[in-house]
């Protein structure tokens, strides 16, 4: 790699020749502020906060775009640069609705943080009074308030480049420019897939998930309701971030303790339903493989991916596994098996899921996600952020809580169920079970490293009792589109494919704790959080879904995997939607 020598704030620095000034400064231990820049996603120099002085240059370049050069001398913190950044921030504030006390991003807003650092005057350039809210609340999963938008276009970039959907963009021109959908359609009218990667990267409160915590508080305060909760696998390595704990810390025990203190009648674990998903999905795959069924079979755990397939690749809906997601299976079993065992009328049970994902809010509303009596599998789905809000509001000292365990029977899960939250986790969990079921021999090595990691598309071939099984794993819907195009064009031939809507899987879901651009640009959140899940799996003795003793108990009720009762409760169907068809 070619290296160059340069100076940053008088310090000698040697960096790769293809670095930008922003990267070089970071290597030198200097943070240059940004609002629009996101590594590998959005580098457009729009916010102008990262301007620096370069000796001999005619004008001040933006550090996120300007590449370094031999002998370059850069100043990042002169009086003129600080003044320029302050004025830029004050101009942004002049067109920003300032209800900071009531904003969900207060104290975790990148604009607010920088405004405080640069001692900005809130109303220095503001004319015509306070802005009115400019809200699109048509979607079931999020709310957009353009009066808080700073036009950084991070959301536009991630929707287009990471997620392929491209259902939002800048409308109008000049001072009237705003982010919206084509022809000013409400987001619900578009082919949005509800992934909320846009929320995850928004630096302000312009994009937020639809807050459903009031529904949960109401249920908890209703003595006629039996309220059951279950967190998804990845929430345990995300939630701690909301309480100042290191990124990727596994807080499963404290999370369960907090849920109990919030007043839930039963604290379960959706990871048990992940094991159940493997039993159903693995059996379905073997049936297709051995009996000439539709291949490749594609996983169905990610509701954002499912909606993407329905909108953008409807010809592949027949390839989707008919299994409900773990959330759907969890709710269905709580309102059938658990209700019967506990002697509770399912109408009196309220099921709450804690998810890293806003697409789950759409999934629970799907017509097919209810039983024959019209009862929803899941009544309310909260994001990791919403759960953290409830814990704080209840005055629970999260970091001081003891570690507790979940209630039986939905409180025992295998390591295979835990790794569902990372890209490749569903595939690996399925392979652990499928290979042993077919070969009738225990695996010598449980780790399938070929399907792990953050490569855009991972491919592997395994010999399963003489049958060559070709698999592929991808995450991020733009990657999914590439993979499906290759299958459609005959360039690739697989038997089994795992797709997760969010890049890196559920550990990077749209309902995860907010992390500022500075952290995102210098740490791979996906890898750090996934390491927490794989670490939990490695430390366990129960690491295969089919060896989970709860499965034996559940199938005494269900019969057999993929049997009549299983299909009635745990399987679903899909809709060929096409573009701009809700």
What is the CATH T-level fold of the domain 3-77, as seen in this structure? Answer: Ubiquitin-like (UB roll) (3.10.20)
Neighbours of 460 (CB within 10 A): 17
- Token duo for residue 219: 């249920």
Q: How many degrees, rounded to 5, is the angle at CA 416 between CA 411 and CA 417?
A: 40
Q: Would you state the CATH architecture of domain 214-570?
A: 3-Layer(aba) Sandwich (3.40)
Average of per-residue pLDDT across 349-356:
98
Return contacts of 94-97, CB within 8 angstroms, 24+ apart.
94/123, 94/124, 94/125, 94/126, 94/127, 95/131, 96/131, 96/147, 96/148, 96/150, 96/204, 97/130, 97/131, 97/132, 97/133, 97/145, 97/147, 97/148
Mean pLDDT of the chain: 96
**What CATH number was assigned to the domain covering residues 101-208?**
3.30.70.20
pLDDT at 44: 97
pLDDT at 261: 98
Average of per-residue pLDDT across 377-395:
98
Average of per-residue pLDDT across 357-370:
96
pLDDT of 504 higher than 90: yes
Model confidence pLDDT, tens digit, residues 256-293? 999 999 999 999 999 999 999 999 999 999 999 999 99
Strands 3-8 and 73-75: parallel
- How many percent of the chain have pLDDT more than 90? 96
Model confidence pLDDT, tens digit, residues 508-522? 999 999 999 999 999
pLDDT at 580: 62
Mind telling me the catalytic residues? Answer: 281, 284, 301, 321, 360, 363, 368, 506
pLDDT band at 581 (very low <50, low <70, confident <90, very high): low
pLDDT band at 372 (very low <50, low <70, confident <90, very high): confident
Which residues fall within 8 angstroms of residue 328, CB to CB, at 6 or more apart? 363, 364, 369, 377, 378, 570, 572
Q: Would the pTM of this model clear 0.75, i.e. be above it? A: yes
Residue 130: phi and psi, rounded to 5, are: -70, 140
504: alpha, beta or left? (left if phi > 0; alpha if psi -120 to 50): left
- Token duo for residue 253: 């025990």
pLDDT at 130: 77
Beta bridge partners of 234: none
Model confidence pLDDT, tens digit, residues 468-493? 999 999 999 999 999 999 999 999 99
Model confidence pLDDT, tens digit, residues 192-235? 999 999 999 999 999 999 999 999 999 999 999 999 999 999 99
pLDDT of 123 higher than 80: no
pLDDT band at 1 (very low <50, low <70, confident <90, very high): confident
Please choose, from the candidates 141, 154, 160, 492, the residue with its C-alpha nearest in 3D space to the C-alpha of residue 298: 492
pLDDT of 187 higher than 90: yes
Q: What is the DSSP letter of 158?
A: I
244: alpha, beta or left? (left if phi > 0; alpha if psi -120 to 50): left
pLDDT band at 48 (very low <50, low <70, confident <90, very high): very high
| Per-domain boundaries in the chain | 3-77, 101-208, 214-570
pLDDT band at 569 (very low <50, low <70, confident <90, very high): very high
pLDDT of 579 higher than 90: no
pLDDT of 128 higher than 80: no
pLDDT at 158: 98
Task: Please tell me if the domain spanning 3-77 has the same topology as the one spanning 101-208.
Answer: no
pLDDT at 217: 98
Q: What is the DSSP string of 63-118?
A: TTTPBP-TT-EEESS-HHHHHHHHHHHHHHHHTS---GGG-TTTTS-HHHHHHHHT
């Amino acid at each position: 790699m070619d290296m160059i020598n340069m100076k940053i704030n008088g310090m000698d620095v040697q960096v790769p020749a293809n670095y930008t000034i922003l990267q070089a400064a970071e290597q030198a231990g200097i943070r240059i502020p940004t609002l629009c820049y996101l590594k590998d996603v959005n580098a457009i120099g729009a916010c102008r906060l990262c301007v620096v002085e370069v000796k001999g240059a005619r004008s001040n370049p933006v550090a996120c775009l300007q590449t370094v050069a031999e002998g370059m001398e850069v100043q990042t913190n002169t009086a003129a640069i600080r003044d320029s950044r302050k004025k830029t921030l004050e101009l942004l504030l002049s067109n920003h609705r300032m209800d900071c006390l009531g904003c969900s991003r207060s104290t975790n807003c990148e604009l607010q943080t920088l405004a405080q650092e640069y001692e900005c005057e809130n109303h220095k350039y503001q004319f015509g009074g306070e802005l009115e809210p400019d809200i699109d609340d048509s979607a079931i999963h999020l709310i957009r308030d353009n009066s808080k938008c700073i036009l950084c276009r991070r959301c536009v970039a991630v929707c287009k480049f990471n997620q392929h959907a491209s259902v939002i963009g800048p409308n109008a021109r000049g001072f009237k420019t705003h982010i919206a959908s084509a022809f000013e359609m409400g987001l619900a009218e578009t082919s949005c897939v509800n992934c909320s990667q846009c929320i995850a990267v928004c630096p302000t409160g312009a994009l937020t998930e639809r807050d459903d915590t009031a529904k949960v508080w109401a249920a908890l305060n209703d003595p006629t309701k039996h309220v059951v909760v279950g967190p998804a696998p990845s929430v345990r390595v995300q939630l701690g971030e909301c309480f100042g704990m290191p990124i990727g810390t596994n807080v499963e025990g404290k999370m369960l303790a907090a849920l109990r203190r919030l007043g839930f009648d039963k604290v379960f674990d959706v990871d048990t339903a992940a094991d159940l998903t493997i039993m159903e999905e693995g059996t379905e795959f073997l049936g297709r493989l051995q009996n000439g069924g539709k291949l490749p079979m594609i996983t169905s755990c990610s509701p954002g991916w499912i909606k993407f397939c329905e909108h953008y690749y409807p010809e592949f809906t027949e390839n989707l596994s008919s299994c409900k997601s773990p959330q759907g299976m969890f709710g269905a079993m709580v309102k059938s098996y658990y209700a019967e065992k506990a002697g509770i009328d399912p109408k009196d049970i309220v099921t709450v899921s804690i998810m890293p994902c806003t697409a789950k809010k759409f999934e629970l509303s799907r017509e097919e996600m209810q039983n024959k009596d019209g009862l929803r599998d899941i009544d309310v789905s909260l994001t990791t952020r919403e759960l953290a809000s409830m814990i704080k509001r209840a005055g629970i000292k999260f970091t001081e809580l003891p570690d507790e365990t979940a209630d039986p029977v939905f409180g025992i899960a295998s390591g295979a169920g835990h790794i569902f939250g990372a890209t490749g986790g569903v595939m690996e969990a399925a392979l652990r079970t499928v290979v042993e079921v077919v070969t009738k021999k225990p695996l010598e090595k449980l780790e399938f490293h070929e399907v792990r990691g953050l490569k855009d598309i991972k491919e592997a071939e395994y010999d399963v009792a003489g049958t060559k099984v070709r698999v592929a794993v991808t995450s991020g819907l733009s990657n999914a589109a590439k993979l499906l195009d290759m299958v459609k064009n005959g360039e690739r031939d697989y038997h089994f494919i795992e797709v997760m809507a969010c890049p890196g899987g559920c550990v990077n879901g749209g309902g995860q704790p907010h992390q500022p651009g500075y952290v995102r640009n210098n740490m791979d959140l996906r890898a750090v959080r996934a390491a927490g899940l794989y670490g939990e799996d490695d430390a366990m003795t129960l690491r295969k879904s089919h060896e989970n003793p709860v499965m034996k108990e559940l199938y005494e009720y269900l019969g057999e995997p993929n049997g009549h009762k299983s299909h009635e409760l745990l399987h679903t169907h899909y809709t060929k939607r096409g573009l701009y068809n809700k």
